[in-house]
């Protein structure tokens, strides 16, 4: 092991500071800097970044406009835990483009944003249960990590814990199959009086919604007084400037943001209808109609300055055509590599997102995706990592950024081909 690897393993569990990756000890590297779509480790080795900080650096690493905005704000104070000029401008811009966000509040991560949405929904409706779709990640909160990677595949709507240490969720969480409106309808019909909310990623991980699925879920929620929560931590500002709401044209009651909004700086935000968001109005404190919400770092002027600069970069004409063209180019290229090698697989995703599933059958929700050859997927991703492609080999989801181009994707495709050659 190198000195860096030894130091990392001495201080961090599995040698990693923030979780996931699941690298062998000898594969751990320490990153030193990033620029555009590239990262460099302490040995000077260059990586093509196909993770982009799990999608939070959609604007690219060290984008000059973002660096400048943060540098301008830093000497003026980094946090007041209070309303400031940067968060005010950002809140106005989000409200302008997010129909669901009549009122907003800021926090510091996607995990908090989705947690608050669920709490507000429970408070508003006076009901206890939330329905999620199997395999969806909504952050590290309880609902987010239940039925995340289930292996027992219990009958719907029974939840399965993915993380030890989370309380049994049977009384709080129902689980439905994504893209299966009929089963979802049956679960909602049977539990309508107890359901506060349905929480969903409109594009679940890389799985696009079937025609009519989002509209159907919206109708079921409206008909039963259930709040619809869109977790737009990934889709927000990525599929379109107005996120999944704009892209699919279906409007939820509450929406959670994070990741790309902050341009790589810690951020979370949630918004909703005026009457729903009144639940966090502190003038109600002490009453049964008050939902606790507070965040020390929420809306801090550094993160929100970065976000304002990031959003002005995203507003540059052509941004979303570029992101969609790059995504198409990557997905088509990956399909070509598979077919040239005679391998069966699905390349799923939309916009600047792509994922390989080594399965002959269409992958449209957790159970169908789960049929894929996971050992081959893991080998391929680890092989890419060893070939200088930075990604999270715990899964197969790839993130592009506005800094990517066809040249870097071609380079990725060569390494994908090499890695497959070794893995099969």
Ligand X SMILES: Cc1ncc(COP(=O)(O)O)c(C=O)c1O
Binding interface with ligand X (CB under 6 A): 54, 109-111, 114, 137-139, 201, 231, 233-234, 258
CB nearer ligand X, residue 260 or residue 347: 260
Q: Judge whether 379 counts as a catalytic residue.
A: no
Which is the catalytic residue, given 230, 259, 320, 399? 259
Find the catalytic residue in 116, 137, 178, 320: 137
Closest distance of CB 34 from ligand X, Å: 18
Q: Is residue 4 flagged as an active site residue?
A: no
Under a CB-based contact definition with an 8 Å cutoff, are residues 252 and 228 in contact? Answer: yes
Please state the closest distance from residue 393 (CB atom) to ligand X, in A. 15
Quick one: which of 353, 318, 335 has its CA closest to 416?
335
Compute the distance between CA of residue 77 and CA of residue 91 in angstroms, rounded to an integer. Answer: 19
- As given in the structure block, the two tokens for residue 273 are 């209808």
Choice between 51 and 84, CB closer to ligand X: 51
Q: Could you tell me the CA-to-CA distances from 324 to 49, 239, 247, 320, 405 in Å, in that order?
A: 18, 8, 12, 6, 12
- Nearest to ligand X of 55, 383 (CB atom): 55
Asked if residue 26 has a cis previous peptide bond (ω within 30° of 0), the answer is no
Q: Which is nearer to ligand X, 53 or 384 (CB)?
A: 53
Asked whether 269 and 243 are in contact (CB, 8 A), the reply is: no
Instruction: State in angstroms the smallest separation of the CB of 137 from ligand X.
Output: 5
Round to whole Å and give the CA distance between 185 and 57: 37
Tell me how far, at minimum, the Cβ of 80 lies from ligand X, in Å.
22
Helices then strands, counting H and E runs in the chain, come out as 13, 14
Pick between residue 110 and residue 123 the one whose CB is nearest to ligand X. Answer: 110
229 or 408: CB nearest ligand X: 229
Cα 321 versus chain centre, distance: 21
Q: Which two tokens stand for residue 5?
A: 């690897």
Three-state DSSP at 48 gives strand
Smallest separation (angstroms) from ligand X to the CB of 20: 9
With CB atoms as reference, the residue minimizing the distance to ligand X is 110
- Per DSSP (E only), the strands in 24-116 are 31-35, 38-41, 46-49, 103-107
What is the closest distance, in whole angstroms, from the C-beta atom of residue 61 to ligand X in the complex?
Answer: 17
- 137 among known catalytic residues: yes
Give CA separation, 247 vs 179, 270, 283, in Å.
Answer: 17, 19, 36
Catalytic residue among 49, 180, 231, 350: 231
> Is 259 in contact with 54 (CB distance < 8 Å)?
yes
Contact call for residues 146 and 154 (beta carbons, < 8 A): no
Known catalytic residues are 137, 231, 259
């Amino acid at each position: 092991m190198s000195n860096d690897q030894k130091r990392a393993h001495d201080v961090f569990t599995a040698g990693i500071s923030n979780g996931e990756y699941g690298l062998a000890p000898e594969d751990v590297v320490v990153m030193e800097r990033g620029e555009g779509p590239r990262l460099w480790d302490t040995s000077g080795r260059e990586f093509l970044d196909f993770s982009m900080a799990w999608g939070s650096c959609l604007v690219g690493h060290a984008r000059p406009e973002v660096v400048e905005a943060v540098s301008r704000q830093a000497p003026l104070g980094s946090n007041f835990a209070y309303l400031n000029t940067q968060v005010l401008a950002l809140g106005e811009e989000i409200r302008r483009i997010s129909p669901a966000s009549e009122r907003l509040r800021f926090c510091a991560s996607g995990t908090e944003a989705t947690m608050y949405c669920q709490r507000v929904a429970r408070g508003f409706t006076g009901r206890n249960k939330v329905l999620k779709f199997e395999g969806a990640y909504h952050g590290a909160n309880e609902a987010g990590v239940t039925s995340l990677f289930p292996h027992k595949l219990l009958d719907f709507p029974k939840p399965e814990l993915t993380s030890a240490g989370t309380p049994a969720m049977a009384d709080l969480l129902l689980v439905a199959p994504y893209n299966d409106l009929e089963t979802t309808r049956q679960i909602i019909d049977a539990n309508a009086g107890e359901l506060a909310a349905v929480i969903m990623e409109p594009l679940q991980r890389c799985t696009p919604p079937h025609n009519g699925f989002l509209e159907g879920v919206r109708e079921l929620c409206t008909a039963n007084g259930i709040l619809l929560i869109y977790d737009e931590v990934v889709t927000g500002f990525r599929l379109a400037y107005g996120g999944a709401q704009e892209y699919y044209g279906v409007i939820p009651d509450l929406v959670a943001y994070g990741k790309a909004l902050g341009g790589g700086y810690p951020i979370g935000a949630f918004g909703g209808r005026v009457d729903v968001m009144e639940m966090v109005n502190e003038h109600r404190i002490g009453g049964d109609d008050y939902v606790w919400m507070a965040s020390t770092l929420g809306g801090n002027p550094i993160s929100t300055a970065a976000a304002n600069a990031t959003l002005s970069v995203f507003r540059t004409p052509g941004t979303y055509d570029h992101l969609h063209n790059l995504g198409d180019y990557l997905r088509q290229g990956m399909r070509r590599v598979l077919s040239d090698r005679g391998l069966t697989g699905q390349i799923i995703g939309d916009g600047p997102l792509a994922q390989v599933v080594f399965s002959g059958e269409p992958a449209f929700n957790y159970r169908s995706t789960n049929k894929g050859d996971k050992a081959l997927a893991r080998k391929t991703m680890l092989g890419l990592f060893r070939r200088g492609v930075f990604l999270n080999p715990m899964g197969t989801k790839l993130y592009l950024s506005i800094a990517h181009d066809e040249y870097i994707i071609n380079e990725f495709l060569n390494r994908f081909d090499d890695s497959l050659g070794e893995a099969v």
